[in-house]
Structure formats: C-alpha cells, structure tokens
Amino acid sequence: MKKILMLAAAFLLTASISSVADPLKVGFIYVGPTGDHGWTYEHDQGRIALEAALGDQIETSFVESVPEGADSERVLTQMALSGHDLIYTTSFGYMDPTINVAQKFPDVKFEHATGYKQADNVATYSARFYEGRAVIGHIAGRVTQSNVIGYIASFPIPEVIRGINSAYLHAKAVNPDVEMKIVWVFSWFDPAKEADAAQALIDQGADILMQHTDSPAAMNIAEDAGIFAFGQASDMSKFGPNAHLTAIINNWGPYYVERTNAVIDGTWTSGDTWDGIGAEMVKMGPMSDKIPAEVQQEAQALIAAIANGDYHPFTGPISRQDGSAWLNDGEIADDGTLLGMNFYVEGIEGDIPQ
Amino acid sequence: MLQLEPRLENSRVWIIATPVIAVLCTIIAGGAMFALLGINPVQATQTIFWAPLFDPELSAYARPQILVKAAPLILIAIGLSIGFRANIWNIGAEGQYVMGAIAAGAVGLAFYPLDAWYIFPLMFVAGLVGGAAWGFIPAMLKTRFGANEILVSLMLVYVAEHFLASVSLGFLRNPDGSGFPGSRNFQQYESAANPELIAGTGIHLGVIFAIFVVALAYALIRFHRFGYQVNLTGKSLRAARFSGVNPTKLTIACLCLSGALAGLAGMFELTGPAGQLTIDFNVGYGFTAIIVAFLGRLHPIGITAAGLLMALTYIGGELGQFMLNLPSAAIQAFQGMLLFFLLSLEFLTTYRIRFKLKRDA
Amino acid sequence: MRDVEFLGINPAVFLSTMVVAAMPVLLAAMGELIVEKSGVLNLGVEGLMIIGAVCGFIVSVETGSPVAGLLGALLAGAILAGIFGLLTQYFHASQVATGLALTLFGLGLSALLGQSYTGIRPPDFSIPNFGVLSELPVIGILLFSYDFLVYFSLALVVGIWWFLNHSRTGLALRAIGENHNAAHSLGYHVIRVRLVAILFGGACGGLGGAYLALIRVPQWTEGMTAGAGWIALALVVFGSWRPFRVVLGAFLFGGVTLLQLNLQALGIAINPAYLSMTPYIVTIAALVVISGMGSHASLRAPACLGKPFDATK
C-alpha cells in the first residue's frame, strides 16, 4: 500500500513537473506530400527550422496530403482536440475550414497561409513572391539571346498572374525586345506535362524558362536543352547544374520561429503578414556564374533596393494590357489590387484563360 | 494437393470470420512495415483502428466523423452495387459525383442571394439529375452502340474533372472572392446549405439520406421485382430475357440510378462538409466506393460495414500522422494491404478448401 | 538551321518530341493490351507505373547503371502485378476492385520507398550515336535522335503484333480472352496463360514508369505519374486492342496535349481546360465507332474481358 502511494506521489510529482515545462504543441497541415520538392517541401523545411530553433520548448507534428475542404476541417478539429496550441494551415483552400475550426476553439491559435480571412485567433501570412519574380525577370531580360522568355503557369489565379506581370515588367525594362510566351498547364504538379510545356516553349524559341508549378521537371528539360531556367520554391540546382541561374526560395522558417515564440511569450496577436525579400520570407538562391558579373551586380542592387523598401516592383507608370492606365508615374500599386490581380500588363500577348 | 470447391451456399461463419482474419493479417503485415520504418507497430495499429473509436480525447468527435466520412462512400457504393449485381460496370462514379455537385452548385448559385425554402430541394433534384445524366451517357452508348460501359464511364471521369476546373475558374467562380478560384461557400448561404444537424458531430442530411438509402436498397433487393431482375440478369442474361427482363431498360436504369446516387453524394458533400466547389473538389470517393462495394459483397449491410471500416482507416490514419509522425504514404500502403487481404480471403465464403491427392496428371 | 515550319511549329521537332512524350504510356498500354487480350482487366496500371518509376530510379542511382534500373523497374512491376494475378486468378477476387487497390497500394509504397531519393538526378541515359545519320535534315531528328528504349519499344510493338497474330501461343491467348470455357475444354491452361500475361503487363507498366523517371523527366517525385496509367488504359480501348492503333493513339494523345501547349506558346487563344478534355472525348467517340461496327469481330473488346474464370464451376 505504501509503495502504491509512493508511486502515485512520484507520478503526480513528475506530472506536475512536466506540466511546468509542457512543450507548446505546434501542428502543420499540408496540401501535398512533404516530398514534392516544391510548396509543401518548403513549409516542412520551415517546420524543421522551427524545431531546430526552439528545441524542447515545442513539439511539432504534421499531416500531409490533406485535401482542401471537408477533410481539412476534420484534421484541424482533431489537431485542436488533441491539444495543439498553434496550427499552421499552409494552403489557400484551407481558408474557410480554418475559420470554422478557429471559431470552435478560441484558445487555439491559427496561422493561415495565403488567405484573406482573419479572426481573433486566426492570423494570415503570405510572401511577396513577385519581388523575387522581379529579380529573375531582370536577369532573364539581360541574359536572353533569343529575347524569348518561356513561362510555365499553373492556374489563372491572382498569385500566378502577379508573378507573370512582375517578371515581364522587369525583363522589358532592361530589354525592350523581350517577349514572354506563357503556357498554362492547369495543374500544380504534373512532371510529364510540365516537361512537355517546357519543351514546347523551347521549340518556340525560348532560351530561358520560368515556372509557377511545383515540380523540377522544367529544370531537367532546360539542362538537357542547354538553356537556362530559374528554380521555383526551392533551390533546384541539383536538377540542372548548368541551367540553374538562381531560385526564388520560399523561406518560412524565420516567420514560424517568430510567431511561435510570440505564442510562447503570450504576445501573439492576430494580423496579416505579407513579407518579401526584406524580411527574408522570399530569398534568392545563389547566383550562377553563368550570369555575367555586371548583371549579378544589378540583380543584387535590385534585391537590396526591394529589401530596404526603396523600390516597389509595381511602380508606375504601368498600363494594363488593353492600354488603359493602371498606375501613374511614380504611383505604387496598393496591396488590394495586387491581391486580386486579374489582368496582364501592357505588352504581354495572349489572354488569361477563363 | 489443395483444391478449391465452390460451396452451394455462402458460408455464414466465413462471412463474419474473413474480415476479422483480414484485419489481423493486415495488422501483422502492416506491423512489419511499420517496424521496418522504425515505428512501434503496436502503437501504430492501435492508433489507426482504436484511437478514433475509443481515445478519451478524440473519440467523441471522431466517432460521428466516421459516419460523415463513410456516408458518401456508402451512398455511391450502394448505387454501384445494384449495377454490379447485374454485371453492369459503372466505374465512373467519380465523374457522376462531380457533375452532380456542379449541377447542384449551379442551381444554388443561380438563386443567390435569394432566401427561399425551395432552393435546397431544387439543388437536390439538380444533383440527382446531373449525376444521372452523366451515368446515362455510358448507358446510352452501351445500349445503342454496344460501347463498353467500363471504359466510357472511366473516360467521362476525366472530362468531368476538366469541366470542374473550368467552372471553378470560370462561370461559378465567387465574384466576391477577389479573383481566387472556387465558388461561393454554400455553408454561408443558408437557403442552399446542408448544415450540421446535431451540434459538434458534423452529422448532416447526407448521412441520414445514406442510412435511408441503405434500408431502401435492402428492401429493393430483397422484396422488389427490380431487385429480382437485377440478380437474375447477373446470374444469367438468357434466363433473365426469358422471364421478361428488358436488358436495355435495365442497363439504363442501373447506370442512371448509380449516377443519381453519386450525384447526390456530390451535392450533399458540396453543400455540407466541403462547402465550396473548387478545382480539387473531388477526392476519389467515386473510386474508393467501387472497392467498398466489392468489400461489402454488393450487399447493403456489407457495404455499410465496409464503408465504415474504410472511413475508420482514413481517420485513424490522420491521427497516426500527427500523433506518431507516420508518413501518409505508409498509411496508404497499409490501406492497400487491408484491401488486398479482404479481397483475397473473400473466396473462403464461396469456396471450400479440400485436400486431395492428385490422381490424374 | 530551321526546316519547314507550319504556324511557327517545326514539324520534325514536334513529331520527335511527341514520340518521346508518348513512350511511358505507350509501354504501359502495350502491357495492358496483352493483359486485356487474355480476358483480364487490370485497372492498376497507374500503380504499376509508379512502382516501376521509383524502383527503376532507386536501382539506377544505387548501381549507377540506367540499364540495371530498367531491369529493376521491369521486375518490380511484374512482382506487383503478381499480387494482382494471385488475387484475381487463384483467390477469385474481383478484377476491378483489386486493380483499384493495386493503384492505391502502389502509390503509397512508391512514396515510402522513394523518400530519400527526391532531389537527385539519376545517371544519364546515353543516346546511341548514329554518326552522320543524325545530322541529316528532318530525318535525323525524326528517326535518329532517340534513346535506345524508344527503338526497343517500337520493336516491342511489332513483336506483340506478330505474337498475337502469327504465333500459336498468341492465338491461344486470344482464344482464352474470347471464350475461356471453350479454350479450357480445348485443353488450354487458362489461369496459367492469364498469369503470364498479367506479369508481362506488370513488367511493361514498370518499364513505362521507369522511362518517365529515368529519361523523360529524370527525377523522382512522389506521385509523378500523375494519371498516366489511366491514359494507358484509355489508349488500349482507343486502339481497339490492336498494337499499331495503340501506337497511333499514343502519338495522337501525346500530340494533342503537345499541340495545345505549343499553340499556347505561340499565343493562339484556346481554352486549355476544354482542350484537355478532347483526348478523352475522342477516345469515347472512337469506342462508339468501333463498337458500332459490330460485325468486325476483330475490333471488339475481348468477349471475356473482366470476367472471372472458374474451372470448377
């Protein structure tokens, strides 16, 4: 009997000690597999960086390949029920489910990526990838020989259209003859189709490829064709050591560390974060030595100007494709228009598919 | 020498015993896989099969969620099973599910923002008609031209998926969604919503409807002339013809019925749990339901059990991911094993194993 | 040097790209053709391809030899198909359900096996040197610009055509697919022949997947087949179970996709979502047309396709 009591006391003691140092439970929900080498991969890298930075203070877990809609709402509810204190929902389609679940669990904090709905316990965050697109647009405009840039696009949504416009404007600024050929593959991830699209663009004379799809297929094709390409979401130089000029890297780690720390400190508040190169949420990969030194310098200067806020990639004068004025000289685009961007800027040929 | 001998009647003992054995086999084989991955196999299988049902923190929520996840599977599988009994092979339920949802969604959005009681019933009809129409295409091509319905219905899945992508970026896109793809959220449009019936459970009208359809299908097969015709056609087309079955009508009826139920599943899912029509609205219920139909031996009760078991492994798999860091690929492989064992042991109910000395040869 | 162009598309370049793009589905479809000719419907082609892709990739990375990778893929596809054969032929499991389960299992298993192989480039696949021949205008690109697997695949097509139409085993296989009861009473081993056909189909599916992961898009990423297996199934039907028509179908199918991407690159306004549907609609139309010609028995689906055979009943 005494023994049992002692055991019970010991148990209670350890239980109370452990509750003092109870690690914060941080959950992640991913739309793709962590091995996609694109969108989900980089979020998971962010999670790993978070674990490395905060160590024992936190405990992370994730669920991958969760379809948007009903399934995500269930997964989020179960994560909240099982004691997660902070949950990152890393795809646009998780927006309404996140808001629904957040209503039911006011004590759990949610961070939703790329959406526009907030609540007291739901913050949103996204990255200004168009800043990175401006840099690669500039490099492409300077490096291209054929003056044809190929762009592999996924779905006609504002995020993608914004990227195309940004890249085009900055290529055009340094090379008035440049032409951008855009191919919509209507998929985020289909290596064979992305490869076909890359090949079609090369056959049409493109000597530099950009992509807004997830797989590194186009990089492979560019390498084989002896042309250039840019990495998307992560450094893809392994897939094309000669083709890879630089990459736009989604760097979520610092944000995850900052926000998770805020929860630990009790200073977390809801809000909307749209960070870019300045906050290092968007990072440029190492520049290949295939880029001439002076172009590298220009690109670094552009990166620095964007980072310290001296330059905004959407600064007027800019007209829409139909010739109507959008931004006056020196005018800077407001975030609202950028977020809902559904038009090409002047000079891009073709229509946005509907 | 082992020999299989058909039983005259399916063994009742084995009908109960085979799924149990299959689950045990899966636990052993899957456990070995988990162990190879460096995961505690006991904990892993316990989380997948046990936690959703009995975990003190989670089961109160997870139990009704099993019903919610199983409802579309069961609804679609019931429809398919009736055709399968007559050897009419609709494997395009995924497409019919999508088209039902699109039709229902289009009708609902046409009334937006009107508030009226008749909108949801109209969407119900639209879902039914949308699914049935998509099922009617292979039926018509089969009866008019003899085109294989397996292949036509499968091809139509891809047509439906591309159509879905097109409408969620195009004419059904939410005009107030600042350019993002996807329709309005039906959960937020009261007249078109299929809300939670019991707070905190997620149970919606579709779950009730699925239960109703299971009962109806049972009665149909057991007592109605149509059920008799279906079974007879499955056993012998000639015999069926002699007893006055019209194969053309039966083919059309079966494909339209399964299409209609798949379309309704899509409609309930759209207006309830999913809420929104998006590019990735369909998540494979139409294909999984085929497996559910076979696992349930094409019987309404069996299908219900199989649907619940599948739903359990989905939900348990999710728990396994965030509680034990199981990769989702391992869970997918585990589910595949479960299906293999269930399918491979099924013969025990219809065959008897005999040990025989090989005489000839 | 640019040759003749139509609408800004160089036909020779276009056609040679089309041939390479069509290879993975072509190989898988050839395997499935044999399976279906024997009267078995295996809907698990997607699972076979992805397993072939990952195993081919792993073996070639580990051994440094692409050929070893191809052999590995062949074997892996056959083993996975063996499970299907065992279940459907010996345990009388439903072909449709087992095929679908095979896809589910294959996708899961491949992702598990490939976990530590993402972000690697496999050893290069050398293109045979045809010397002057590949320098020839048009013909050089059109005929002498491929890796050896392309030539092997085309030889395989001829081989399958010969096998089905001119060899005794091939005729037996077809007889079994048309009427297994009659074939059985003539003394053919229905189950055994079907099992071999299934294993062959698995090997071809695996090889098709490996072509994708080792040559077409040299990389491994989870789920990289992205539905190619289903297209292979469609091709067999489109080609009305005849090898050369399946090849034509594979080229057409790949060609339509490629053409719409090329037209986009040219800035010609078309709706990609609707254009992406066309190959499937064309397949249905082809199916209707060939089924409508009921008198041409050679164009129909094998009569026993998907039907279980049971010698004891």
Q: What structural domains does chain A harbor?
A: 2-127 (3.40.50.2300), 130-249+284-339 (3.40.50.2300)
- Where along chain B do its domains lie? 1-39+330-361, 61-325
What is the average pLDDT score of chain A?
90
What are C141-176's pLDDT values in tens digits? 778 778 889 999 999 999 999 999 999 999 999 999
Distance CA B88, CA A181 (A): 47
Distance CA B254, CA B135 (A): 9
Q: How far C222 CA sits from the closest chain B CA (Å)? A: 9
Mean pLDDT of the A236-261 span: 93
pLDDT of residue B68: 95
Highest mean pLDDT among A190-199, B171-180, B194-203, C72-81: C72-81
Enumerate chain C positions whose Cβ falls within 8 A of a Cβ in A: 8-10, 13-14, 17, 21, 24, 111, 114-115, 118-121, 212, 216-219, 221-228, 254, 257-258, 261-262, 264-267, 269, 271-273, 276
Check CB contact under 8 Å for C301 and B148.
yes
Check CB contact under 8 Å for B166 and C96.
no
> Where residue A183 falls among pLDDT bands split at 50, 70, 90?
very high
- Which has more confidence, B259 or A36? B259
Residue A57 scores a pLDDT above 60: yes
Phi, psi angles (nearest 5°) of residue B216: -65, -45
Angle of CA points A349, A351, A354, to nearest 5°: 160
Report the CATH number of the B61-325 domain.
1.10.3470
Q: How far C256 CA sits from the closest chain A CA (Å)? A: 11
Contact, A239 vs A253, CB < 8 A?
Answer: no
What are B38-96's pLDDT values in tens digits? 889 999 999 999 999 998 888 899 999 999 999 999 999 999 999 999 888 898 999 99
Q: In what order do the strands lie in the sheet with A148-153?
A: A179-184, A148-153, A208-211, A228-233, A244-250, A282-284
Point out the residue among B185, B323, B329 whose CB comes nearest to the CB of A82.
Answer: B323
What are A274-306's pLDDT values in tens digits? 999 999 999 999 999 999 999 999 999 999 999
Find chain B residues with C-beta within 8 A of C100's C-beta: 287, 290-291
Point out the residue among C115, C273, C312 whose CB comes nearest to the CB of B5.
Answer: C312
Check CB contact under 8 Å for A93 and B280.
yes
Interface test with C, best of B144, B151, B287 (most C CBs within 10 A): B151
Check CB contact under 8 Å for C284 and B148.
no
Distance CA B335, CA B331 (A): 6
Check CB contact under 8 Å for B163 and C97.
no
Check CB contact under 8 Å for A64 and B280.
no
What are B269-297's pLDDT values in tens digits? 999 988 889 888 988 899 999 989 988 98
Find chain C residues with C-beta within 8 A of A239's C-beta: 119, 121, 219
Q: Which long-range contacts (CB under 8 A, 24 or more apart) does A344-347 make?
A: A344/A161, A344/A164, A344/A165, A344/A168, A344/A320, A345/A165, A345/A168, A345/A169, A345/A318, A345/A319, A345/A320, A345/A321, A346/A318, A346/A319, A346/A320, A346/A321, A347/A168, A347/A172, A347/A321
Q: How far A59 CA sits from the closest chain B CA (Å)? A: 11
From residue C109, how far is each of A190, B162, B334, C99 by CA, in Å?
A: 19, 28, 9, 15
Distance CA C165, CA C174 (A): 9
Can you name the residues that pair with A25 across neighbouring β-strands?
A59
pLDDT of residue A17: 43
Distance CA A142, CA A290 (A): 12
Q: Identify which of C302, C291, C290, C231 has the alpha carbon closest to the alpha carbon of residue C37.
A: C302
Q: Does A196 touch chain C (CB under 8 A)?
A: yes
Residue C3 scores a pLDDT above 60: no
By three-state DSSP, how is residue A324 classified? coil
Q: Which two tokens stand for residue A307?
A: 């980072």
From residue B167, how far is each of A93, A350, B277 by CA, in Å?
A: 16, 21, 9
Residue C226 scores a pLDDT above 70: yes
pLDDT of residue B261: 97
Residue C290 scores a pLDDT above 70: yes
Find chain A residues with C-beta within 8 A of B328's C-beta: 33, 63-65
Q: How far C213 CA sits from the closest chain A CA (Å)? A: 9
Q: Does A79 touch chain B (CB under 8 A)?
A: yes
Check CB contact under 8 Å for B318 and A66.
yes
By three-state DSSP, how is residue A148 classified? strand
Check CB contact under 8 Å for A69 and B178.
no
Interface test with A, best of B59, B168, B180, B187 (most A CBs within 10 A): B180
Beta-carbon contacts of residue B233 (< 8 Å; ≥ 6 apart): B85, B86, B87, B240, B245, B247, B250
Check CB contact under 8 Å for C101 and B291.
yes
Burial class of residue B234, CB neighbours in 10 A (0-12, 13-18, 19+) = middle
By three-state DSSP, how is residue A271 classified? coil
Q: Which two tokens stand for residue B102?
A: 């699109």
Residue C235 scores a pLDDT above 70: yes
Angle of CA points B87, B93, B98, to nearest 5°: 160
pLDDT of residue C5: 61
Contact, B262 vs B129, CB < 8 A?
Answer: no
Beta-carbon contacts of residue A334 (< 8 Å; ≥ 6 apart): none
Find chain C residues with C-beta within 8 A of B344's C-beta: 86-87, 91, 93
In this structure, the strands spanning A244-250 and B2-6 are unpaired
Gyration radius from chain B CA atoms:
22
Find chain B residues with C-beta within 8 A of A157's C-beta: 169, 179-181
Contact, B210 vs B267, CB < 8 A?
Answer: no
Distance CA B115, CA B92 (A): 35
Which DSSP string do the residues of C192-248 spell out, in sequence order? HHHHHHHHHHHHHHHHHHHHIIIIIS-S--TTTTTTHHHHHHHHHHHTTT-HHHHHH
Check CB contact under 8 Å for C221 and A37.
yes
Residue C269 scores a pLDDT above 70: no
Q: Does A135 touch chain C (CB under 8 A)?
A: no
> Where residue A15 falls among pLDDT bands split at 50, 70, 90?
very low
Q: Which two tokens stand for residue A128?
A: 């200004």
What are B297-348's pLDDT values in tens digits? 899 999 999 999 999 999 999 999 999 988 888 998 998 899 889 888 887 7
Q: Identify which of A126, A94, A93 has the alpha carbon closest to the alpha carbon of residue A79.
A: A94
Q: Does A233 touch chain C (CB under 8 A)?
A: no
- Where along chain C do its domains lie? 11-299
By three-state DSSP, how is residue A338 classified? helix
pLDDT of residue B82: 92
CB burial string B147-173: b at 16+ within 10 A, e below: bbbbbbbbbbbbbbbbbbbbbbbeebb
Query: Which DSSP symbol is given to A188?
Result: S
pLDDT of residue A12: 46
Q: Which two tokens stand for residue A247?
A: 């990459």
Maximum Cα–Cα distance across chain A: 90
Distance CA A135, CA A126 (A): 19
